Amino acid sequence: MIRQAIILLVLSTAVGLGGNLISPNRVDFVGKFRDLSSGDQPIVPPTAEPGDPPFVGINEAQMEFATGKPLFLDARNAEDFDCGTIPGAINIPFEALPEGDLGKYFDSTLGVAKDYPIITFCSGEDCDLSLHMGRNLKLLGYTKVAIFFGGAREWEKFGLEMQRRKSCGS
Amino acid sequence: MRKLIDNDYLTLLSRLLVGGMFIYASFYKIIDPAAFAKSIWFYHLVPGKWINLMALILPWLEMTCGLAVIVGFWHRGAALWSNIMLIVFIAALASAIVRGISIDCGCFRAAESATHSAWSSLLFDIGALVFSVHLLASRSRRWMLSSR
């Protein structure tokens, strides 16, 4: 019985790990999930209004990051983005959005379907660009937008990896 | 009592129920391991680095054990695993209930929301464990590919 159980475990491990190599839904073998002692509750700005996209806390943000699926959208200016952002995030400075048809602009810049999960963020509690970006995306028909209002500061505070394109001091 | 436990038809029923449940449960997890990894994370029981590995291996263990139990090949080892897995699932669900964690149990499909009742999942697993224990105890080998 024990021998059979071991064979079944080895077989399942081989198929599971081997299949992951060729699966279109493959995941990293080593998870990036972290257990954080606090941060379960998302930071919600006082300017939040009913109908705004949902707010996510640091735990949920890092969990979504660990799945590798959502598009993290940094709404700050390029300099802040270069100084340190969530790894893999793309930068669309909210304050430098072009005039004209924003729908076309986002469709071409983001390059994802309207129902693709997007998480907007900026510096943190003193910055509301992520909120405005999230509202705009929602108005433009993006259905799975969430706002990580804790932003890059909270991400760094919890010791999560930052992507730095240049050194900016502290 | 022993006669009832070894009853061929009752054993076949347990094989089909337990095996079918594990095959069905494994299906969505195999298709979407990232979502299943999230379900595991919600329990806060597995170290973060191990979650993806668990999300890749566990569904296939469910699948192979489910198949083994139904066709009756390596069924003793498969029944042992089905008991171990169900006991672990029950312990995890009970732990989540005690800690007040609101979860989608991740039992049969990818986690989308925290709306499913952990209590109903717990009761379901306890019921399944009864049939799974019966598989281990039964000496019936009828309608099996292998008698070992």
Residue pLDDT, tens place only, A102-135:
888 998 899 899 999 999 999 887 788 999 999 9
Is residue A17 a part of any domain in this protein? no
* Residue of B36, B53, B58 to mutate, interface with A, max A Cβ within 10 Å: B53
Identify which of A8, A11, A20 has the shortest CB distance to residue B33: A20
What pLDDT score was predicted for residue B4? 86
ipTM of predicted complex: 0.87
- C-beta atoms of A7 and B80 within 8 A: no
Q: Is A73 inside any structural domain? A: yes
Helices B75-99, B118-137: crossing angle, 10 deg rounding: 150
The chain-wide mean pLDDT, for chain B, equals: 86
Burial profile B13-39: b = 16 or more Cβ within 10 angstroms, e = fewer:
ebbebbbebbbebbbbbbebbbbbbbb
Name, in order, each residue with C-beta under 8 angstroms of B52's C-beta and a sequence gap of 6 or more.
Answer: A27, A28, A29, A30, A31, A33, B33, B37
Contact A27 B74 (CB under 8 A): no
Segment B1-12, tens digit of pLDDT: 888 888 899 999
Q: Give residue B107's pLDDT.
A: 66
Flag whether A19 is in a domain.
Answer: no
Tokens for A141, please give them: 């028909």
Residue A100's domain comprises 58-157
Residue A88 lies in a domain: yes
Closest approach of B121 to chain A, Cα-based (Å): 24
Query: A–B: how many Cβ contacts below 8 A?
Result: 104
Q: Would residue A26 count as lying in a domain? A: no
In terms of pTM, does the model score above 0.80?
no
Between chains, do A16 and B60 touch, taking CB under 8 Å as contact?
A: yes
- Residue A16 is assigned to a structural domain of this protein: no
A94 belongs to a structural domain: yes
Within 8 A of A36 by CB-CB distance, chain B residues are none
Q: Provide the pLDDT confidence category of residue B19 given band limits of 50, 70 and 90.
A: very high
Q: Give the angle A99-A102-A103 at the CA atoms, nearest 5°.
A: 160
Question: B104 or A60: whose pLDDT is higher?
Answer: A60
Q: Is the pLDDT of residue B101 over 80?
A: no
pLDDT in tens, B34-85: 888 878 877 778 888 888 999 999 999 999 999 999 999 999 999 999 999 9
Structure-token pair, residue A137: 């995306």
Q: Say whether pLDDT at B109 is over 60.
A: no
**Residue A12: its chain B contacts at CB < 8 A?**
57, 60-61, 63-64
Position A128 scores a pLDDT of: 85
What is the tally of structural domains in chain A? 1
Q: Domain for residue A165, yes or no?
A: no
- Which SS3 state, helix, strand or coil, does residue B70 take? helix
**The pLDDT of residue A34:** 60
CATH (domain of A62):
3.40.250.10
pLDDT at B115 over 50: no
Nearest chain A residue to B58 by CA distance is A12
Candidates B33, B55, B57; nearest CB to A12: B57
For residue B65, which of B7, B137, B135 has the smallest C-alpha distance?
A: B135
Task: Collect the ranges in chain A with pLDDT lower than 50.
Answer: 37
Burial class (CB in 10 A: 0-12, 13-18, 19+), A116: middle
